[in-house]
């Protein structure tokens, strides 16, 4: 059974909280270390479950993983065997899909199970499959029964020759597809052009690391990236960027609870529209160099929030924004066009006394301010886990989050860090 969180609401949050390294940047960086047999060093590692699982997967393949500091890891993938991929671990996390690009371009043959991850709606991998097929890869899928009755949906990728650079048009602004193709293209033959490429900060961080390894890439940060394949890559050292999504979560938490919190290590450049929206809505936010001070805010009016690909308001911050909307004045329209399951957490907020109408899988109207009351809650995905923690801190009485494993995937020791700024929150281990 998973651990629980017990939260006593209405505590005043006050103090300083540090943002850690980006989870969404770290997982592709770990995958990228498989592109070379030379040692790579990643610094500023967030110690969260998704990162631990990624490291465990590459260790089982034969990579040498050494922690050379609390948050610094040295990875040497000289003697790895993709045949030792642990399907049971891959099946639990979406980011495991990022192993396809580096392993395929290095070994030309790979069997991998369907990646898992958050329950936020359909997350097909067709964009990845179409791109790899364009690069000369044959792809088959089949079911494999393992460990008795457990069945895995398996993809078999096989290239008869070195992968070939191609002009690729993605069907959507897919972050993981952009990252996967980038990692395959750096060692492919010729030039690859990725059109409709994602521009998120973690994509740009991956490009910085690949360039340090010797990759030839142009156009990062735009929707058209050019990659010229090279013969080999060397090891490199890289400081992982800070997590703009975690920073945004803490800022929204302070606003919803009317706290006074200084959030440090904030990549303000990556949150410009988000921060502008909050300030224009009445949020008392003071921007400093690499930090944001949130002052107690009595009245905010949001009206409408629509998530968009970067540099728009991130879909990963939509859930915490939904909680904040229960405490702002009047009606707020939440529109998240990306995932049809991203609004399921609103059902949990209604259990707490929120006034929310879910119009369709992508839109909801939230009336505020409302008094939330503590109850037992079920988070369905990583960001919903963080949102329900905010709701528990905002509510009157006791809130029990029955499964905190989702939040653990992306937020390191969340209960300890929040306790340090005044939250009455504790973990019950199972």
Q: Is residue 392 within 8 Å of residue 410, measured between CB atoms?
A: no
The per-type count for the chain, helices as H runs and strands as E runs, is 14, 23
The CA distance from 184 to 151, in Å, is 28
For 249, half-sphere exposure in the C-beta direction (CA atoms, 13 angstrom radius) is 28
Radius of gyration of the chain (CA): 22
Please return the burial class of 141, using the count of CB atoms within 10 Å of its CB with bins 0-12, 13-18 and 19+. exposed
- Helical (H) or strand (E) element with 361: none
- Helical (H) or strand (E) element with 177: helix 175-185
Question: What is the DSSP-derived secondary structure letter of residue 307?
Answer: B
Token pair, residue 217, equals 């890439």
Q: Is residue 370 within 8 Å of residue 326, measured between CB atoms?
A: yes
Q: Which residue in the list 118, 241, 262, 359 is annotated as catalytic? A: 118
Q: Is 241 one of the catalytic residues? A: no
- Helical (H) or strand (E) element with 258: none
Q: Is residue 202 within 8 Å of residue 241, measured between CB atoms?
A: yes
For the annotated catalytic residues, the residue numbers are 118
């Amino acid at each position: 059974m998973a651990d629980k969180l017990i939260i006593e609401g209405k505590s005043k949050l006050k103090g300083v909280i540090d943002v850690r390294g980006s989870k969404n940047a770290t997982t592709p960086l770990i995958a990228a270390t498989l592109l070379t047999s030379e040692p790579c060093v990643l610094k500023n590692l967030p110690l969260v479950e998704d990162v631990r699982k990624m490291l465990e997967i590459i260790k089982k393949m034969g990579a040498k993983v050494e922690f050379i500091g609390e948050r610094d890891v040295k990875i040497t993938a000289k003697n790895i065997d993709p045949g030792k991929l642990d399907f049971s671990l891959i099946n639990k996390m979406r980011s495991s899909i990022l192993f396809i690009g580096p392993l395929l371009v290095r070994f030309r043959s790979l069997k991998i199970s369907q990646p898992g991850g958050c329950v936020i709606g359909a997350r097909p991998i067709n964009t990845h499959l179409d791109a790899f097929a364009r690069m000369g890869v044959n792809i088959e899928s089949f079911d494999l029964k393992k460990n008795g009755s457990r069945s895995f949906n398996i993809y078999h990728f096989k290239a008869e020759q070195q992968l070939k650079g191609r002009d690729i048009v993605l069907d959507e602004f897919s972050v993981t597809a952009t990252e996967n193709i980038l990692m395959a293209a750096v060692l492919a033959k010729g030039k690859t052009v990725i059109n409709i490429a994602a521009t998120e900060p973690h994509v740009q961080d991956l490009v910085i690391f690949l360039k340090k390894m010797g990759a030839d890439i142009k156009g990062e940060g735009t929707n058209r990236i050019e990659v010229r394949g090279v013969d080999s890559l060397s090891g490199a050292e890289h400081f992982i960027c800070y997590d703009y999504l975690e920073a945004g979560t803490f800022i929204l938490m302070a606003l919803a609870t009317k706290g006074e919190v200084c959030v440090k290590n904030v990549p303000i450049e990556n949150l410009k529209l988000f921060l502008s929206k909050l300030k224009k809505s009445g949020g008392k936010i003071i921007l400093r160099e690499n930090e944001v001070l949130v002052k107690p805010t009595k009245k905010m009016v949001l009206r409408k929030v629509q998530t968009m690909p970067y540099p728009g308001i991130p879909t990963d911050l939509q859930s915490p924004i939904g909680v904040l909307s229960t405490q702002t004045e009047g009606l707020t329209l939440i529109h998240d066009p990306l995932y049809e399951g991203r609004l399921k957490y609103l059902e949990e907020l209604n259990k707490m006394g929120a006034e929310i109408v879910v119009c369709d899988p992508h839109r909801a109207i939230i009336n505020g301010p409302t008094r939330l009351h503590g109850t037992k809650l079920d988070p369905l995905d990583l960001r919903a886990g963080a949102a329900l923690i905010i709701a528990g801190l905002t509510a009157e009485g006791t809130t029990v989050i029955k499964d905190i494993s989702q939040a653990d995937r992306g937020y390191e020791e969340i209960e300890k860090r929040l306790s340090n700024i005044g939250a009455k929150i504790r973990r019950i281990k199972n």
